[in-house]
Amino acid sequence: MKTSLAALFATASVFAASSALAAPEVVVSVKPIHSLVAAVMEGVAVPKLIVEGAASPHTFTMKPSNARSLEKADVIFWVGENLETFLEKPLDALGKKATVVALSEAPGVAKLKLREGGTFESHDHSDEGHDDHAGHDHAKHDHDKHDHATEAGHDDHDHEGFDMHLWLDPSNAKAMVKDIQARLIKADPEHVAIYNRNAVELEKKIDALDQEIRSALAPVKAKPLLVFHDAYQYFEHHYDINVVGSITVSPETVPGAERLSEIHKKLASLNAVCVFAEPQFQPKLIDVVTAGTKAKSGTLDPEGATLKEGPELYFSLMRSMAKSLVDCLGKDA
């Protein structure tokens, strides 16, 4: 009897100790920020991802398994309502017990306003239009502001708010890491040492990545290019890439024949060297736009659709973007 009681107490003690160290249930909306959260949580737990595989947050539909994850979550990280619109109502209904963190509001994140129209020919080098926070210096960028007048024939689209592809600026990624670190420590103080160590290492890796990409892009950054949709402002501004326009105003809206004809005509006057598609969208649109021109085509993946989720995805995504730009733009050298 004594042995049984001793064993029972020992088991209870082990259970209590493991419960005290149990990690929080963490859910993340999209791959790029899931990668940052996963890196900060490495050695503690693996966060759940909602938009998996090649799915896009612009067209995503929630599944029952996603709803269950939100219900169980202690902390939910998302970029914000201007990107993951599919999450607005579920968060209100299912995420009530969780701490919901919009990383677009993280201290130190610099936001850029959404742009109008599909071609960005007119450049105004003022800083107006930026929501700059401490820790960011965008003054050295040549393209700090594009003045985009919507031209005749463009789809009429409401662009109130900010561009939410924030992670494409490494400075924003580091600011988000700091907020992720702070939120996880608050939710799970038992693992503060791991979160702190991981966050410091992650910021160092992002700094090294930033220098690597800046060096790789230096020979081609001035060459004009056209993108599928205007998702690259942060990458463009941080690295001074010369993006002169986009095929669509909104990724949810397929461009009509009039729009495609207009972009095709503009392509010659813009002298775009390359036109870039995205994995989730129809490549034939790029073929239509480039037909009869000298422009080459490539693929950019700003949301990591083709990449395996996990702590290394952010680095693979940024390197892949840089490589695609160098490979296509470099052909014209």
Residue 263 sits in the same domain as residue 171:
no
Which pLDDT band, with edges at 50, 70 and 90, does 21 fall under?
A: low
Residue 92 sits in the same domain as residue 181:
yes
Residue 198 sits in the same domain as residue 235:
no
pTM value? 0.79
Residue 75 sits in the same domain as residue 39:
yes
Instruction: State residue 116's pLDDT score.
Output: 62
Lowest mean pLDDT among 53-62, 92-101, 146-155: 146-155
Which pLDDT band, with edges at 50, 70 and 90, does 56 fall under?
A: confident
Residue 222 sits in the same domain as residue 244:
yes
Total domains in the chain come to: 2
Residue 176 sits in the same domain as residue 251:
no
Instruction: State residue 150's pLDDT score.
Output: 28
- The answer to whether residue 18 is domain-embedded is no
Looking at 152, 175, 205, which one is the last position of a domain? Answer: 205
Residue 170 contacts residue 238 (beta carbons within 8 Å): yes
If 0-12 CB within 10 Å is exposed, 13-18 middle and 19+ buried, where does residue 43 land? exposed
- The answer to whether residue 293 is domain-embedded is yes
Looking at 150, 171, 205, which one is the last position of a domain? Answer: 205
- The answer to whether residue 290 is domain-embedded is yes
Residue 323 sits in the same domain as residue 230:
yes
- The answer to whether residue 246 is domain-embedded is yes
Say how far apart CA 211 and CA 205 lie, in whole Å. Answer: 10
Residue 289 sits in the same domain as residue 325:
yes
Say how far apart CA 2 and CA 193 lie, in whole Å. Answer: 39
- The answer to whether residue 153 is domain-embedded is no
Residue 71 sits in the same domain as residue 169:
yes
Q: Tell me: the pLDDT tens digits for 160-196?
A: 578 899 999 999 999 999 999 999 999 999 999 999 9
Q: What's the domain range around 94?
A: 26-113+161-205
Find, among 232, 113, 219, 238, the residue nearest to 170 by Cα.
238
Q: Provide the H-helix boundaries in the chain.
A: 2-20, 31-41, 64-72, 88-94, 170-187, 192-217, 233-239, 257-270, 284-290, 313-329
Residue 77 sits in the same domain as residue 226:
no
- The answer to whether residue 212 is domain-embedded is no
Helix (H, G, I), strand (E, B) or coil at 83: coil
Looking at 182, 205, 228, which one is the last position of a domain? Answer: 205
Residue 200 sits in the same domain as residue 222:
no
Residue 191 sits in the same domain as residue 323:
no
- The answer to whether residue 323 is domain-embedded is yes
Q: Tell me: the pLDDT tens digits for 313-333?
A: 999 999 999 999 999 999 754
- The answer to whether residue 244 is domain-embedded is yes
| Domain CATH number, residue 274 | 3.40.50.1980
